Amino acid sequence: MRLLVVGEPGSGKTSWCREYIDRRRKSGSSVGGILSPAIEKQGQRVGSNALDLLTGEEVSFARLSRHRSLKEGEKVGYYTISRDGILFACRAIERAVESRCDLVVIDEVGPLELQGKGLIPAVELVLASAINVLIVVRSSLREALQRHFSDYKFTVIADLTKSSWSASTHSN
Protein backbone atom coordinates (compact mmCIF):
# COMPACT_ATOMS: atom_id res chain seq x y z
CA MET A 1 0.00 0.00 0.00
CA ARG A 2 1.10 3.53 -0.79
CA LEU A 3 -0.52 5.92 1.65
CA LEU A 4 -0.61 9.72 1.74
CA VAL A 5 -1.03 12.23 4.54
CA VAL A 6 -1.98 15.56 2.97
CA GLY A 7 -2.04 19.07 4.43
CA GLU A 8 -0.44 22.48 4.34
CA PRO A 9 2.53 23.54 6.51
CA GLY A 10 1.50 23.74 10.14
CA SER A 11 -1.66 21.65 9.66
CA GLY A 12 -0.47 18.82 11.93
CA LYS A 13 0.80 16.26 9.39
CA THR A 14 3.80 15.21 11.50
CA SER A 15 1.73 15.06 14.70
CA TRP A 16 -0.88 12.93 12.91
CA CYS A 17 1.93 10.61 11.75
CA ARG A 18 3.33 10.28 15.29
CA GLU A 19 -0.04 9.04 16.56
CA TYR A 20 -0.52 6.74 13.58
CA ILE A 21 2.98 5.28 14.10
CA ASP A 22 2.25 4.76 17.81
CA ARG A 23 -0.97 2.88 16.95
CA ARG A 24 0.80 0.74 14.35
CA ARG A 25 3.62 -0.12 16.77
CA LYS A 26 1.15 -0.97 19.54
CA SER A 27 -0.49 -3.44 17.15
CA GLY A 28 2.90 -5.10 16.53
CA SER A 29 4.01 -3.43 13.29
CA SER A 30 7.61 -2.40 12.69
CA VAL A 31 7.86 1.19 11.46
CA GLY A 32 10.92 2.88 9.98
CA GLY A 33 11.78 5.87 7.84
CA ILE A 34 11.77 9.51 8.91
CA LEU A 35 9.66 12.14 10.58
CA SER A 36 10.48 15.82 10.22
CA PRO A 37 9.50 17.49 13.49
CA ALA A 38 9.35 21.28 13.41
CA ILE A 39 11.93 23.40 15.20
CA GLU A 40 10.49 26.54 16.73
CA LYS A 41 12.07 29.58 18.33
CA GLN A 42 9.90 32.07 20.19
CA GLY A 43 6.77 30.44 18.76
CA GLN A 44 7.92 30.72 15.12
CA ARG A 45 8.90 27.80 12.90
CA VAL A 46 12.55 28.11 11.92
CA GLY A 47 13.05 24.68 10.38
CA SER A 48 12.83 20.96 10.95
CA ASN A 49 14.97 17.99 11.88
CA ALA A 50 15.06 14.49 10.44
CA LEU A 51 14.20 11.78 12.97
CA ASP A 52 15.17 8.18 12.13
CA LEU A 53 12.20 6.10 13.29
CA LEU A 54 14.32 2.95 13.76
CA THR A 55 17.25 4.39 15.71
CA GLY A 56 15.70 7.49 17.31
CA GLU A 57 18.65 9.56 16.05
CA GLU A 58 17.79 13.11 15.01
CA VAL A 59 19.79 15.60 12.89
CA SER A 60 19.29 19.10 11.49
CA PHE A 61 17.40 18.93 8.22
CA ALA A 62 16.02 22.33 7.18
CA ARG A 63 16.43 25.85 8.53
CA LEU A 64 15.21 29.25 7.43
CA SER A 65 17.89 30.52 5.08
CA ARG A 66 18.11 33.87 6.85
CA HIS A 67 19.46 32.09 9.95
CA ARG A 68 22.39 30.74 7.91
CA SER A 69 22.87 27.91 10.39
CA LEU A 70 23.30 25.39 7.57
CA LYS A 71 26.37 26.13 5.50
CA GLU A 72 25.78 23.69 2.65
CA GLY A 73 22.52 22.59 1.19
CA GLU A 74 19.70 23.07 -1.26
CA LYS A 75 17.64 26.26 -1.12
CA VAL A 76 13.90 25.67 -1.31
CA GLY A 77 11.73 28.71 -0.79
CA TYR A 78 12.73 30.35 2.48
CA TYR A 79 14.60 27.26 3.68
CA THR A 80 17.98 25.63 3.20
CA ILE A 81 17.88 21.83 3.25
CA SER A 82 21.09 20.38 4.72
CA ARG A 83 23.08 18.03 2.50
CA ASP A 84 24.02 16.04 5.60
CA GLY A 85 20.34 15.96 6.59
CA ILE A 86 19.37 14.64 3.15
CA LEU A 87 22.01 11.88 3.34
CA PHE A 88 20.92 10.98 6.88
CA ALA A 89 17.24 10.82 5.86
CA CYS A 90 17.98 8.73 2.76
CA ARG A 91 20.01 6.27 4.88
CA ALA A 92 17.17 6.04 7.41
CA ILE A 93 14.65 5.24 4.66
CA GLU A 94 17.02 2.73 3.03
CA ARG A 95 17.63 1.07 6.44
CA ALA A 96 13.86 0.70 6.92
CA VAL A 97 13.55 -0.97 3.49
CA GLU A 98 16.53 -3.26 4.17
CA SER A 99 15.01 -4.17 7.57
CA ARG A 100 11.75 -5.03 5.79
CA CYS A 101 9.70 -2.82 8.08
CA ASP A 102 5.95 -3.24 7.88
CA LEU A 103 5.66 0.49 7.15
CA VAL A 104 8.15 3.09 5.92
CA VAL A 105 7.28 6.72 6.66
CA ILE A 106 8.62 9.60 4.56
CA ASP A 107 7.85 13.00 6.09
CA GLU A 108 7.84 14.67 3.61
CA VAL A 109 8.10 14.67 -0.18
CA GLY A 110 8.32 18.28 -1.30
CA PRO A 111 9.43 20.52 -4.17
CA LEU A 112 13.03 19.28 -4.00
CA GLU A 113 11.99 15.66 -4.56
CA LEU A 114 9.58 16.61 -7.33
CA GLN A 115 12.60 18.19 -9.09
CA GLY A 116 14.43 14.84 -8.86
CA LYS A 117 16.64 15.89 -5.93
CA GLY A 118 16.71 15.52 -2.15
CA LEU A 119 15.24 12.26 -0.89
CA ILE A 120 14.23 11.06 -4.36
CA PRO A 121 16.60 8.04 -4.52
CA ALA A 122 15.19 6.69 -1.23
CA VAL A 123 11.59 7.53 -2.23
CA GLU A 124 12.02 5.63 -5.51
CA LEU A 125 13.61 2.69 -3.66
CA VAL A 126 10.69 2.28 -1.26
CA LEU A 127 8.03 2.83 -3.94
CA ALA A 128 9.61 0.13 -6.12
CA SER A 129 9.66 -2.31 -3.18
CA ALA A 130 6.77 -4.38 -1.88
CA ILE A 131 6.91 -2.53 1.45
CA ASN A 132 4.03 -0.34 2.64
CA VAL A 133 4.87 3.36 2.58
CA LEU A 134 3.26 6.42 4.10
CA ILE A 135 4.25 9.66 2.38
CA VAL A 136 3.55 13.12 3.76
CA VAL A 137 2.91 15.79 1.13
CA ARG A 138 1.56 19.32 1.08
CA SER A 139 -1.95 19.65 -0.33
CA SER A 140 -0.63 21.99 -3.02
CA LEU A 141 1.85 19.31 -4.21
CA ARG A 142 -0.43 16.27 -4.09
CA GLU A 143 -1.29 16.29 -7.80
CA ALA A 144 2.34 16.93 -8.78
CA LEU A 145 3.40 13.95 -6.65
CA GLN A 146 0.81 11.72 -8.30
CA ARG A 147 1.94 12.90 -11.77
CA HIS A 148 5.62 12.40 -10.89
CA PHE A 149 4.96 8.86 -9.67
CA SER A 150 2.21 8.02 -12.17
CA ASP A 151 3.08 4.29 -12.10
CA TYR A 152 1.80 4.06 -8.51
CA LYS A 153 -1.63 4.35 -6.94
CA PHE A 154 -1.81 6.32 -3.70
CA THR A 155 -4.53 6.25 -1.05
CA VAL A 156 -5.09 9.35 1.10
CA ILE A 157 -5.54 8.20 4.71
CA ALA A 158 -5.52 11.68 6.25
CA ASP A 159 -6.39 14.97 4.58
CA LEU A 160 -5.67 17.78 7.03
CA THR A 161 -6.19 20.50 4.43
CA LYS A 162 -9.56 21.86 5.54
CA SER A 163 -10.22 20.41 8.96
CA SER A 164 -8.45 20.77 12.25
CA TRP A 165 -6.18 17.86 12.99
CA SER A 166 -7.54 14.80 14.72
CA ALA A 167 -5.99 11.35 15.05
CA SER A 168 -9.22 9.88 13.71
CA THR A 169 -9.27 12.02 10.55
CA HIS A 170 -9.47 9.62 7.63
CA SER A 171 -10.62 10.08 4.07
CA ASN A 172 -10.18 8.21 0.80
Tens of pLDDT, residue by residue over 56-109, are: 999 999 998 776 665 678 888 888 899 999 999 999 999 999 999 999 999 999
pTM for this model (two decimals): 0.90
Per-residue pLDDT at 70: 59
Residues 6+ apart with CB under 8 A from 38: 14, 45, 47, 48
pLDDT digits (tens, 9 = 90+) for 120-145: 999 999 999 999 999 999 999 999 99
Largest CA distance in the chain: 43
Q: Closest by alpha carbon to 164, among 38, 5, 43, 11? A: 11
Spell out the long-range contacts of 124-131 with Cβ–Cβ below 8 A and sequence spacing 24 or more. Answer: 125/93, 125/94, 125/97, 126/33, 126/93, 126/96, 126/97, 127/2, 127/152, 129/97, 131/96, 131/97, 131/100, 131/101, 131/102, 131/103, 131/104
Is the pLDDT at 170 greater than 80? The verdict is no
Residues in the chain, overall count:
172
Kindly state the average pLDDT of the residues 36-65: 92
Q: Please tell me the distance from the alpha carbon of residue 111 to that of residue 117, in angstroms, as a whole number.
A: 9
Could you state, in order of their start, the residue ranges of all structural domains in the chain?
Answer: 2-39+50-55+83-159
Per-residue pLDDT at 83: 93
Per-residue pLDDT at 10: 85
| Domain 2-39+50-55+83-159, CATH | 3.40.50.300
Q: Closest by alpha carbon to 72, among 64, 91, 80? A: 80
